[in-house]
Structure 1
Amino acid sequence: MRPPAAWRTWAVGCAVLAVAAALLYAVGPKGAGAARADTASGHRWITDRQGRALVLRGLSTASSAKSAADGLPWIKEEDVARERRALGTNFVRFLLQWRKVEPAPGAYDTAYLDRVAERVRWYGERGYHVLLDMHQDLYGPGTGGNGAPKWATRTDGLPSAATDPWELGYAEPGTVRAFDRFWGTAEGGRDLRAHYARAWRAVAERFADDDAVIGYDLMNEPWGGSVQGPAFEAGPLARLYEDCVGAIREVDRDHWLFVEPSAIGANWGFATGLPRLDDPRGDGDEARIAYAPHLYPLPMDLGGGYTGDTRRRVDASLASWREQTERTARRLGAPVVIGEFGLDVGLPGAMEYVEKVQRMADEMGAGIAYWSNDPGPWAPWDAELRPTALLPVLDRPSPRAIAGDPVSYRWDARARELTVSWT
């Protein structure tokens, strides 16, 4: 928890900023436009139901949900309260499992959704915005991963062996075949996208009137199986997103819909072929589709720290990732949330890297969901829930909701000052 002195600095800063904002507004369109260049050109913001621009900062909850029999994370309500006290976060990316939403074809587990709703309430009562994320890795339990139900998993007898690192499992024959069957790209395969979209409809129908929910992350780190690159993103993936958007909008017109590119490449800073998607709500500011790529620079994804030559390569990767992300966001007409980033906090330079990503997110006007809240070497707390070196780095002020047009914001950790500009 931040010491009282930090809050006094913050309060004085807010008083000064109120005057600064009035002066900025008085400058007129030319001055405001120049300052707005601090964020991406054509930048949009995720907004709440009052139309306020939101700066979303939080953690993903949680990897433990992937393997749990009930599909739920390890947390209890007191853990949510502790996170709020320790970090001051206002955002959580909450993992769902398709296997639990739709355990049998066309049958939706309302008891599971009720248990999810209980946890959403824990967050909502503490002022959090909850992003419901339909998570998958390696397709599902039937291929050694998580996400898809076994009834929707068809490998045609091909193997899916465990690999090290685990990501190599995406190239296992059985995993590739399961994805191809899901997308309908394998000869004679079933296209399971309609099932998936209807499962999302069931989730959206349950949470359409829940003010704690900010939106739905349609698929974690999509993988195209034997179809990759722009052919996958502009083809099967775009069609899945179109199906999900249509199904959700039948029952929920208000919540934001978050889309991710293919993880291979985009996570490292390469371009994506994801096309602009239509929202039945309307075009322009009426549309509520957000872009939620993940950030894992390849040198760090392979287990490296943030030092020496690796640091230079990571910096180059971050610059490329930002350029590609902002370019894609402009093409999609979408605000940005960094849906995942993180690393082992014991690696050399780890804290400097985390702070660099946070500064970059501030400059971009992007939300963040650090991976993850699971106690251990990547988290702000260890297995005994004692703070790690990461906690004070993630514990940084930011504006929460701005009734206006945000221009820029910046936290100076040394001076303990938060500077915010808006019109």
Structure 2
Amino acid sequence: MARCAALAALLLLRGGLAQKLDLHLDVSIVRLQQRETAERAFVDVHGRERYFHGINAVVKGPPWVPRTDKFDVDTSLVDKDFEVLEALGVNVIRLGLMWPGVEPTEGAYNATYIAEIEKIIRNAGARGIYVLLDMHQDVLSEKYCGEGVPPFAAVDDDAKFTFPMPLGPKPGWYWNDELQYPRRDFCARHPWPSLYLAPAVGKAFENLYTKTPTREKWGDFWAYVATALKGTAGLLGFELINEPWNGDHVAHPTLLIPGQADDRRLQAAYNYVAPRIWDKDPDRLVFFAGVVTDDIAPAGFRTAPGGAANSERSVFTYHYYQPPQMMLEPYFKRRMKDARK
């Protein structure tokens, strides 16, 4: 009798342990919910609050996605990588979802690229690791020594100067004649944050936010991705754009005032793009950010993307850099106030 009781207890223990392990590896959909603490929190289908700590993984050139075939110390996301990340307690990867990878030619979407992204999400999920897909950009496009949007979405025809003028003369930039891009070896000689000040870069951001055909292409991109990845387990959400610039700072220098670009440019752009995602995947979390020049001033957003009704599926994000941010504690206190709005 005692032996049977001991066996039953062992089976119960094993069953409980198995359930615990299953929950540890669970990457079911996460939503924002109001909690008793009066704070919104990430909550999974089991009612547990989820806290995320993780890494960035962004490939800033072709093929625009980490390797999935074999381990590479710099560029892979394979089983060996996931084993290390799991052992370190990492439970989310902010993965670069690169627009040129999704849509290398205007209107022609790359299903193979999406399949690679989905493979990474699936393999990460097997280790209990979520993936946040980030439409990454730095200086918007390869046209400007950066990366982010494909050439057809980097529209600067109405800029005061062609890139890189007046920062430097075009002939001295070792132009790639085939692609009409500056060569990366020459770009690397220049501090990349300074390139945002080129009038062509500001104009291209302005057109992305406000010019109807260009903004529609941005929405089309996200609508395609949302449709392709709807229902994917382990997908935490979509980040609309990484570290957006203020817009046309030459024609509208007041956009450099903290809060102004959020209010006058990004609010309307996000109000358009985020619903394009929710039209295809209503439950998906959308992550959105203000410009990095807001510093410790309040962000300029009046509501979550698309209106206050979307607060439960919108996540405000922010990045700390020194410079332009100079005071750590005031910065984080200010951004938390913004997130609670």
Same fold, judged at TM 0.5 (above): yes
Q: Distance in 2 between matches of 1:211 and 1:283?
A: 22
Kindly state the Cα deviation for residue 111 of structure 1 after the two structures are TM-superposed.
Answer: 1.3
* Preserved CA contact (<8 Å) 2:259 2:297: no
SS at 1:45 equivalent: strand
| Residue 144 of structure 1, CA deviation | 1.1
1:262 aligns to 2:278 (yes or no): no
* 2:333 corresponding residue in structure 1: 323
- 1:58: how far off? 0.5
Question: Which of residues 173, 176, 182 is equivalent to 2:202?
Answer: 176
The match for 2:140 is 139
In structure 2, what is the equivalent of residue 252 of structure 1? 281
- Tell me the distance in 2 between the aligned counterparts of 1:86 and 1:298: 33
| Cα distance in structure 1, aligned partners of 2:264 and 2:143 | 25
Q: Could you tell me which residue of structure 2 aligns to residue 58 of structure 1?
A: 54
Runs of at least 5 residues in structure 1 that lack an aligned partner in the other structure? 1-31, 37-41, 302-313, 332-423
Q: Are residues 1:288 and 2:281 paired?
A: no
Residue number in structure 1 paired with 2:163: 159
| Corresponding residue to 2:303 among 269, 276, 282 | 276
Partners of 2:245 and 2:127 lie apart in 1 by: 35
Shift of 1:280: 8.2
Q: Which residue number corresponds to residue 269 of structure 2?
A: 240
Please tell me the residue identity of whatever aligns with 2:318: P
Which residue is 1:221 aligned to?
243
Residue identity matched to 1:159: F
Deviation (angstroms), 1:103: 2.1
Distance 1:202 1:106 in 2: 10
Distance 2:340 2:275 in 1: 22
Secondary structure of residue in 2 paired with 1:132 = strand
Residue by residue over 1:215-235, the C-alpha shift from the partner in whole angstroms, topping out at 9 and shown as x without a partner, is 011110011222524332112
Give 3-state SS (helix, strand or coil) of 1:322's partner: helix
Please report how far the alpha carbon of residue 283 of structure 1 lies from its aligned counterpart in structure 2 after TM superposition: 5.6
Q: State the Cα deviation string for residues 52-96 of structure 1 (Å, max 9, x = none).
A: 21100100113xx112x1111311313432332441211110011
Aligned length: 267
**Counterpart of 2:234 in structure 1: which amino acid?**
A
Name the SS for the 1:193 alignment partner.
helix
Q: TM-score w.r.t. structure 2 length?
A: 0.72
2: CA distance between counterparts of 1:218 and 1:129? 17
CA distance in structure 1 between the aligned counterparts of 2:116 and 2:208, rounded to whole angstroms? 27
Q: Once the 2 structures are TM-superposed, how far is the Cα of residue 47 of structure 1 from its aligned partner?
A: 2.1
Larger relative contact order (Cα-Cα within 8 Å, sequence gap ≥ 6): 1
Matched residues in 1 for 2:239 and 2:212: separation?
A: 24
Contact 1:80/1:122 (<8 A) preserved: no
Q: Match of 2:43, SS? A: coil
1:201 aligns with 2:223: yes
Matching residue within 66, 72, 76 for 2:65: 72
Match of 1:211 in 2: 233
Which of the pair has more CA radius of gyration? Answer: 2
CA–CA distance in 2 between the matches of 1:58 and 1:140? 26
**Does structure 1 conserve the Cα–Cα contact (< 8 Å) formed by 2:99 and 2:149?**
yes
Asked whether the equivalents of residues 48 and 214 of structure 1 are also in contact (C-alpha less than 8 Å), the reply is no
Question: Structure 1 pair 271/297, CA: closer, same or farther in 2 (3 Å)?
Answer: farther
Q: What CA distance in whole angstroms lies between the structure 2 residues aligned with 1:246 and 1:46?
A: 21
Q: Per-residue deviation at 1:127?
A: 0.5
CA contact (8 A) 1:92 1:129 kept: yes
How far apart, in 2, do the equivalents of 1:126 and 1:77 lie? 11
2:180 matched residue in structure 1 = none
TM superposition score normalised by structure 1: 0.58
Offset at residue 297 of structure 1 (A)? 3.2
TM-aligned CA distance change 1:249 to 1:235, over 3 Å: same
Q: 1:104 maps to which residue?
A: 105
Aligned-residue offset at 1:191? 4.6
- Aligned-pair RMSD on alpha carbons? 2.4
Task: Give, in whole Å, the separation in 2 of the partners of 1:326 and 1:280.
Answer: 19
Percent identity between the aligned chains? 26
Distance in 2 between the 1:71 and 1:214 partners? 20
**Paired residue type of 1:237:** L
Structure 2 CA distance for partners of 1:152 and 1:278, relative to 1, 3 Å = closer
Q: Deviations over 1:364-398 (max 9, x none)?
A: xxxxxxxxxxxxxxxxxxxxxxxxxxxxxxxxxxx
Offset, 1:214? 0.8
Q: Deviations over 1:233-287 (max 9, x none)?
A: 1122111211122111111111211111111234xx3321122125689566xx2
Tell me: CA distance 1:253–1:51, structure 2 relative to 1, closer, same or farther (3 Å). Answer: farther
Q: Is the 8 A contact 1:279 1:288 kept in 2?
A: no
